[in-house]
Amino acid sequence: MPWAEECEEGAVWVIMCAAVKYNLRGPALIPRMKTRHRIYYITLFSIVLLGLIATGVFQFWPHSIESSNDWSVEKRSIRDVPVVRLPADSPIPERGDLSCRMHTCFHVYRCGFNPKNKIKVYIYSLKKYVDDSGVPVSNTISREYNELLTAISDSDYYTDDINRACLFVPSIDVLNQNALRIKETAQALAQLSRWDRGTNHLLFNMLPGGPPDYNTALDVPRDRALLAGGGFSTWTYRQGYDVSIPVYSPLSAEVDLPERGPGPRRYFLLSSQTALHPEYREELDALQARHGASVLVLEKCTNLSEGVPAVRKRCHRHQVFDYPQVLQEATFCMVLRGARLGQAVLSDVLRAGCVPVVIADSYILPFSEVLDWKRASVVVPEEKMSDVYSILQSIPQRQIEEMQRQARWFWEAYFQSIKAIALATLQIINDRIYPYAASSYEEWNDPPTVKWGSVSNPLFLPLIPPQSQGFTAIVLTYDRVESLFRVITEVSKVPSLAKLLVVWNNQNKNPPEDSLWPKIRVPLKVVRTAENKLSNRFFPYDEIETEAVLAIDDDIIMLTSDELQFGYEVWREFPDRLVGYPGRLHLWDHEMNKWKYESEWTNEVSMVLTGAAFYHKYFNYLYTYKMPGDIKSWVDAHMNCEDIAMNFLVANVTGKAVIKVTPRKKFKCPECTAIDGLSLDQTHMVERSECINKFASVFGTMPLKVVEHRADPVLYKDDFPEKLKSFPNIGSL
Amino acid sequence: MQSWRRKALLLALSASWLLVLLGAFPLLRLAVPTRPRAGASQGWPRWLDAELLQSFSQPGELLEDAPEPPQGPRGGSCDWGACFDASKCRGGGLKVFVYSAAGPVSETHRRILASIEGSRYHTSNAAEACLLLLPLTRDSSAGECSPVPPQWNGGRNHLVLSLHPAPCPRTFQLGQAMVAEASPTVDTFRHGFDVALPLLPEAHALRGGAPGQLRQHSPHPRVALLALAEERGGWHTAGTNFSACPWDGRCEQDHGPEQTHPGATLPNATFCLIPGHRPDASHFLQALQAGCIPVLLSPRWELPFSEVIDWTKAAIVTDKRLPLQVLAALQQMPLTRVLALRQQTQFLWDAYFSSVEKVIHTTLEIIQDRIFGASAHPSLLWNSPPGALLALSTFSTSPSDFPFYHVQQGSRPVGRFSALIWVGAPGKPPLKLIQAVAGSQHCAQHSFSEPQALGSMLRMQRKSRKIPPQIQIQILVLWSSEKPPPPRWPETAVPLTVSEGHRKVSDRFFPYNAISTDAILSLDAHSSLSTSEVDFAFVVWQSFPERMVGFLTWNHFWDEALGGWGYTAERANEFSMVLTSAAFYHRYYHTLFTHSLPEALRALADEAPTCVDVLMNFLVAAVTKLPPIKVPYRKQHQEARPPLAPEGRGPRPEPQPPVRNCINQMAAGFGHMPLVSSRLRLDPVLFKDSVSVLRKKYRSLEKP
């Protein structure tokens, strides 16, 4: 009732204005003050005093106002909702417009800019509608519709501000068309305050149509309103506008049915529906006759004792079965059309992990806009019903088990409660309005276990980047200028080097003057960092214009130009991997029951050192912004293991192993080996092992992959003239 | 007195203010208790008597809705169940008959015919066809095109195909025929029955087609953020820092560099805005090819192949009425998403759109999927490389059976292989080879071990490399020589099957039922391999199950002098083919070779036996777009000549003219040159290193 609201707002406004006026006039009264006005003041004082007392009472008397407020707003009885009388000649909306699409009938402006990309949904307050003679139009509200509106109201979509709403949900319950009077319900819809031909209004209906012809969409004229309907057919469903929803099965809440894993079951095919057309019944009986005990056709029980709910029992001849438990005994379960296309049995079947065999031509399966029903059901044309058994038998067992899992997952995610149905419906509409933020196919369809197990490589397109692009070398340095200059000179000899970037990690010292740097043929840039952190080496600097990055330490002078050029060529063939020189391995230590870092020269490799390694620039972005958990800060704090972290990150996101190139086994120059003693080496190993264990626990898995190969030039160590080889000087161990 | 009064008055005033502030609102609240207020506590009320509410359906009502007889099609409109008779399509998949034109054959008609003839769908017998294809073409005689064809039968099981829009008025009722047309309007399109085609330019390639333009995986913004499709057919780019709507040409301010491109060039921008009118649909393919992410503004046409292609992965369909929101969303789109969308445009372009043949085959594959029902392509196969045309659902519907999806699925190929030994003309039993291959099973290999401590997030993972299971192998000898096979074969620990019969050369790649492992080791009788070589190559193959892993290589090159492709067996610094006389590859390639390659190409391979290697390499390269993998091989001298040229052709460095002809005919058949060169060889980690030989796992690889 918006007029009432406006009225109330008006009242507030008047009082406020009066107060302001009073305040303004106050000082002007003072000069004209006279003794006979004393009464006036006394009166004023007493009013003030009373007002203060009253205020105090309101403020400090706990619960008096709030509780009454609660009572009036939240804890009301449905019997007390306001009654609205609909005049017999009040307007009726047009019939549904079959040509409606989101961009023609939906008023998208209402959804305006929204940083969270969530639509706002308003729910009309509950009214009881009666016709001219006082006869109610329908049941005020059903249990399910109340649950549905509660779910919307509790969700992020809800707003109580009608002016900010993008979608309107009437509180008029049209879940079951049989429970309402069509014309009067339409009139009730038409008088909603923001109806406007039904634009942006969403109706939920699960049981459409009525005898004798059972339309597949709600018969209530609804103009442009969106319909979330159970039992749409291709003739009534407006693709991309309406939403097909399941028919909720009340058994979902009543019965506790624990999950049963996929696998072979007692019956191959089961039919549990009771009201079937005789033609279908004959077909089913014929199936059973042909295939014997693997097919079970259940019927309504005729001779149940008093007090047993017929809904919960099914019979085959004289055998009585519990429903829905019996569904768990079958691999495939029939979902045949009745008068309506949408059947509540679908929900029970999915729940039992039984693969539904849907035989209902032209039926739009629930949420088919986003759910891939091929993965959870078998749709058989009605005229092929007699072949159903052979069709099902041609499905491989592995696929059947996959479908069983998928069926159960669909039920858990989208069928099991009214709330799940309501939220999935709103999410679908939300995805249409904010398509750039929509959930993906995988998010809708993959069960959680699949989501965890699958890897989506961010560089999935197989292509070999052009050689002409070259690579950018990034040298991380602190203060070893002499060594740095040697590295720069050496690296600049590599033909495919496109740019050299020096990351100056020392805040206390300025880099050498421009004139002192070696003169090289490619651009050389120096980036100064704000803090001495190891992660600076993996920052996606804007200066990096090539895809390929060569991370190189300022003391790696032993790599030959051929070796580096070959490394780049290998990276081009494996652009989504880390391509490095010395390889390392992780091992499971059975005694300590944890991971161990291995730098022995083994036959296997699972990591490469990033003292010199090629990789895609995109991984810099991932390292800096998407590194899971606290790994990044942990690495910076320990000043170690940034290379292991990078190996974990790349392996985890791509699911692929590293590529070790050339025989190179270590970076240490021969003259440096004497410096670090055995003990230093051992602490180093312990630290590195700790890193692996730490990262494995943060990632929740061990993403590293072990391989037994390395990449060499095609003619490496072949009996072939050295001068004809592309990379003759490939380096040593 | 005055001051007292004044003070009193002020006091009174302030007190009354206080009263108004503190008192009035609570009072007001009391007066109008039901007024909804802002705040989290508001919402749908919790009814006191919610427990007493009735269910929306009466008990039993859900079970008892009156049974209705099956219904026929209504109102002349069709859907798949009502208007298609799938019973004619049993066995052998979809068979298609194409009506030939009565008069002179138009160019479009010729292309449609050409792309179906020789494919696995084609039949020349209208009676055994399950689908009858009626091309509607522009330039037939007498203005009207395609009179009602002879087997019309009310249009049942007919597909009316018009590659180019509105060629001519139809002279007949569509009846029950399906329509495949370019960019149909959403109002008339029948989902699940009609097929939406892309709007192809007149000069679209018949086969192969131009590759996508994205040459790198860069997530970076391009020169321009947006390119806008223009009515005239060109593109109009706008810089990254504009604020107004660029798409109606009525922006108050124009920011950034702008330029208009002529129609031929492709846009160099991150996003391509394409208005919703139907003529603009032609821009869609251009954007796709250019790797410019299409942003469709309220399209009134159905996106091509929308039945199977998940366009949300490659394009953004949005509402033109929210320009600022769309712009903001595009500008703020995360790099990861841009990168993924961009790559998907390229994959889709290359898999389904780059040639007329691909478009036609995709159309037929969609219809075949409808017929197959439960054994149709899963969505993953349609929407990730190499695409559904190259991942045949007749092979399997489970992604882990294919070589392409292991990484995605977190699965690995089965740790076993089958050896397939081809015995050709000399008819000498390859006893030594059999021993070498059979010896492989004693080798300890990779394993799965149970995950232990790390519990929580389960991913099927190989953790450590202990517990070696045995590689089980089986050996299949294809005895294709005139001579009868020897009655006795050596005792081997692995099952050995000998299959006799004279075969064509291309039959070595037939999908034999006897092969049940993922990996096949293809061998010739005269190949010479050691157990070590087999072991190492197989371990490498497990890391690259979609590629061919071989020992001997060839390289292709462009011969300027002859203006054609050539290839050489000379040892070089790079290679692009591995010989199938000794190579590991996935058994799926046998299915693909036999069922997907055009008949003509296989016939060509049968004529010139070396061609069969070229053909297999072409096929794998066309699917993976990657080079094969070479592993070390001891007997280098064998590399000097193509081993599959037995007729005394000798170790000539230059291949013979018919062979050269072969690679060029293959390239013509594929429509492009799919081979990719590689410059690396995968060796064992300690290969030929100066470390103790005892450390090395594959020692015998290094013996001279």
How far apart CA B65 and CA A651 sit, in angstroms, is 56
Q: What is the mean pLDDT of chain A?
A: 86
Q: What's the confidence (pLDDT) of residue A19?
A: 39
B19 vs A207: CB contact, 8 Å cut-off?
no
Query: How does strand A243-244 pair with strand A319-322?
Result: unpaired
Query: pLDDT tens, A165-218?
Result: 999 999 999 999 988 899 999 999 999 999 999 999 999 999 998 877 888 899
Q: What percent of chain A has pLDDT over 90?
A: 60
Residue B138: which pLDDT band, with cuts at 50, 70 and 90?
low
Return the DSSP state at B232.
T
* pLDDT exceeds cutoff 80 at A646: yes
Q: Searching chain B, which residue's CA lies closest to the CA of residue A732?
A: B689
How far apart CA B270 and CA B254 sit, in angstroms, is 18
Of B217, B318, B691, the CB nearest to A461: B217
* pLDDT exceeds cutoff 80 at B42: no
Q: What's the confidence (pLDDT) of residue B60?
A: 67
Query: pLDDT tens, A337-358?
Result: 888 888 999 999 999 999 999 9
CB-CB neighbors (< 8 A) of B370 in chain A: none
H or E stretch including B584?
strand B582-586
Of A338, A402, A457, the CB nearest to B67: A338
Decide: B163 and B108 in contact? Cβ < 8 Å.
yes
* Interface mutation vs chain B, best among A164, A460, A698, most B CBs within 10 Å: A460
Q: What is the mean pLDDT of residues B635-648?
A: 45
The distance of A480 to chain B (nearest Cα, Å) reads: 32
The distance of A513 to chain B (nearest Cα, Å) reads: 32
Half-sphere exposure of A81 (CA within 13 A, CB side): 24
Torsion angle of C-alpha atoms A604, A630, A447, B338, degrees rounded to 10: -90
* pLDDT exceeds cutoff 80 at B101: no
Which range among A396-400, B205-209, B371-375, B627-631 has the greatest average pLDDT?
A: B627-631
Q: Which of B350, B559, B613, B689 is catalytic?
A: B613
How far apart CA A152 and CA B43 sit, in angstroms, is 9
CB-CB neighbors (< 8 A) of B50 in chain A: 78, 143, 146
Query: pLDDT tens, A422-459?
Result: 999 999 999 999 988 899 999 999 998 888 888 889 99
Decide: B24 and A56 in contact? Cβ < 8 Å.
no
CB-CB neighbors (< 8 A) of A207 in chain B: 56-57, 61-62, 65
How far apart CA B165 and CA B178 sit, in angstroms, is 16
Q: Searching chain A, which residue's CA lies closest to the CA of residue B299?
A: A103
**Phi-psi label, residue B546: left if phi above 0, alpha if psi -120 to 50, beta otherwise:** alpha
How far apart CA B364 and CA B361 sit, in angstroms, is 5
Residue B431: which pLDDT band, with cuts at 50, 70 and 90?
confident
What values do phi and psi take at B683, rounded to 5? Answer: -115, 160
Residue B172: which pLDDT band, with cuts at 50, 70 and 90?
low
Of B23, B310, B407, the CB nearest to A441: B310
Q: Searching chain B, which residue's CA lies closest to the CA of residue A436?
A: B316
How far apart CA A141 and CA A405 sit, in angstroms, is 35
CB-CB neighbors (< 8 A) of B540 in chain A: 708-709
3-state secondary structure A231-270: CCECCCCCCCCCEECCCCCCHHHHCCCCCCCCCCCCEEEE
Q: What's the confidence (pLDDT) of residue B489?
A: 80
* pLDDT exceeds cutoff 70 at A503: yes
Which of B642, B643, B644, B631 shows the shortest CA–CA distance to B549?
Answer: B631
Buried b (16+ CB within 10 A) or exposed e, A3-13: eeeeeeeeeee
A527 DSSP β-pair partners: A503
Q: Searching chain A, which residue's CA lies closest to the CA of residue B395?
A: A396
Structure tokens at A654: 């791509």
H or E stretch including B131?
strand B131-135
Which of B359, B313, B353, B361 shows the shortest CA–CA distance to B210?
Answer: B353
Query: How does strand A471-477 pair with strand A497-504?
Result: parallel
B374 vs A399: CB contact, 8 Å cut-off?
yes
How far apart CA A552 and CA A564 sit, in angstroms, is 11
CB-CB neighbors (< 8 A) of B71 in chain A: 361
Global ipTM: 0.85
Query: How does strand B564-568 pair with strand B553-559?
Result: antiparallel
Q: What's the confidence (pLDDT) of residue B440?
A: 79
Of B298, B681, B691, the CB nearest to A714: B681
* Interface mutation vs chain A, best among B18, B65, B345, most A CBs within 10 Å: B65
Return the DSSP state at B409.
H
* pLDDT exceeds cutoff 50 at B520: yes
* pLDDT exceeds cutoff 90 at B146: no
CB-CB neighbors (< 8 A) of A41 in chain B: 5, 8-9, 12
Which of B235, B287, B225, B290 shows the shortest CA–CA distance to B260?
Answer: B235
A338 vs B536: CB contact, 8 Å cut-off?
no
How far apart CA B230 and CA A230 sit, in angstroms, is 42
B16 vs A22: CB contact, 8 Å cut-off?
yes
Which of B380, B346, B422, B365 shows the shortest CA–CA distance to B120?
Answer: B365
The distance of B153 to chain A (nearest Cα, Å) reads: 19
Of A274, A440, A706, the CB nearest to B63: A274
Q: What's the confidence (pLDDT) of residue B47?
A: 87
B45 vs A152: CB contact, 8 Å cut-off?
no
Interface A-B, measured as beta-carbon pairs within 8 A, has a size of 491
Q: Searching chain B, which residue's CA lies closest to the CA of residue A154?
A: B43
Residues with Cβ within 8 Å of A139's Cβ and at least 6 positions away in sequence, in order, are A173, A179, A180, B54
Decide: B5 and A45 in contact? Cβ < 8 Å.
no
Torsion angle of C-alpha atoms B106, B108, B112, B113, degrees rounded to 10: 20
H or E stretch including A712?
strand A709-713
- For residue B273, give the 3-state DSSP assignment: strand
Gyration radius (Cα) of chain A, Å: 37
Query: pLDDT tens, A556-603?
Result: 888 999 999 999 999 999 999 999 999 999 999 999 999 999 988 899
How far apart CA B662 and CA B604 sit, in angstroms, is 8
Decide: B631 and B682 in contact? Cβ < 8 Å.
yes
Decide: B451 and B554 in contact? Cβ < 8 Å.
no
Of B47, B65, B691, the CB nearest to A340: B65
Structure tokens at B664: 């060029």
* pLDDT exceeds cutoff 90 at A311: no
* Interface mutation vs chain B, best among A14, A66, A103, A443, most B CBs within 10 Å: A103
Structure tokens at A372: 């891939």
A464 vs B626: CB contact, 8 Å cut-off?
yes
CB-CB neighbors (< 8 A) of B312 in chain A: 435, 438, 440-441
B463 vs A702: CB contact, 8 Å cut-off?
yes
Q: What percent of chain A has pLDDT over 70?
A: 89
A108 vs B636: CB contact, 8 Å cut-off?
no
A709 vs B383: CB contact, 8 Å cut-off?
no
The distance of B192 to chain A (nearest Cα, Å) reads: 9
- Number of alpha helices (DSSP H) and beta strands (DSSP E) in chain B: 16, 22
Q: What's the confidence (pLDDT) of residue A9?
A: 41
How far apart CA A77 and CA B50 sit, in angstroms, is 8
Structure tokens at A426: 């709103």
Which of A620, A587, A546 shows the shortest CA–CA distance to A688?
Answer: A587
- For residue B445, give the 3-state DSSP assignment: coil
Among positive and negative, which fits the CA dihedral B667, B672, B674, B679? Answer: positive
B613 catalytic residue (yes or no): yes
Query: pLDDT tens, A224-280?
Result: 999 999 989 888 899 889 999 999 998 888 888 888 888 889 999 999 998 888 888
The distance of A338 to chain B (nearest Cα, Å) reads: 5
Residue A28: which pLDDT band, with cuts at 50, 70 and 90?
very low
The distance of B125 to chain A (nearest Cα, Å) reads: 25
* Interface mutation vs chain B, best among A336, A392, A459, A708, most B CBs within 10 Å: A708
Which of A274, A273, A269 shows the shortest CA–CA distance to A354?
Answer: A269
Query: pLDDT tens, A112-132?
Result: 767 788 999 999 999 999 998
Structure tokens at B678: 């590689």
Of A275, A441, A616, the CB nearest to B67: A275
* pLDDT exceeds cutoff 70 at B664: yes
The distance of A107 to chain B (nearest Cα, Å) reads: 9
How far apart CA B116 and CA B363 sit, in angstroms, is 11
Among positive and negative, which fits the CA dihedral B123, B127, B132, B134? Answer: positive
CB-CB neighbors (< 8 A) of A391 in chain B: 373-374
Q: What's the confidence (pLDDT) of residue B134?
A: 86
Gyration radius (Cα) of chain B, Å: 34
How far apart CA A622 and CA A540 sit, in angstroms, is 9
* pLDDT exceeds cutoff 60 at B367: yes
Q: What's the confidence (pLDDT) of residue B412?
A: 87
A322 DSSP β-pair partners: A313
Residues with Cβ within 8 Å of B292's Cβ and at least 6 positions away in sequence, in order, are B222, B227, B266, B267, B268, B269, B270, B271, B272, B345
Which of A702, A689, A705, A701 shows the shortest CA–CA distance to A595?
Answer: A689
Structure tokens at B578: 């591995």
Q: Searching chain B, which residue's CA lies closest to the CA of residue A26?
A: B13
Q: Alpha carbon B291 to chain centroid distance?
A: 16
B271 DSSP β-pair partners: B226, B293
* pLDDT exceeds cutoff 70 at A677: no
- Where are the strands (E) in A242-339, listed by range? 243-244, 267-271, 295-297, 313-316, 319-322, 330-336
Of A275, A276, A460, the CB nearest to B385: A460
The distance of B175 to chain A (nearest Cα, Å) reads: 17
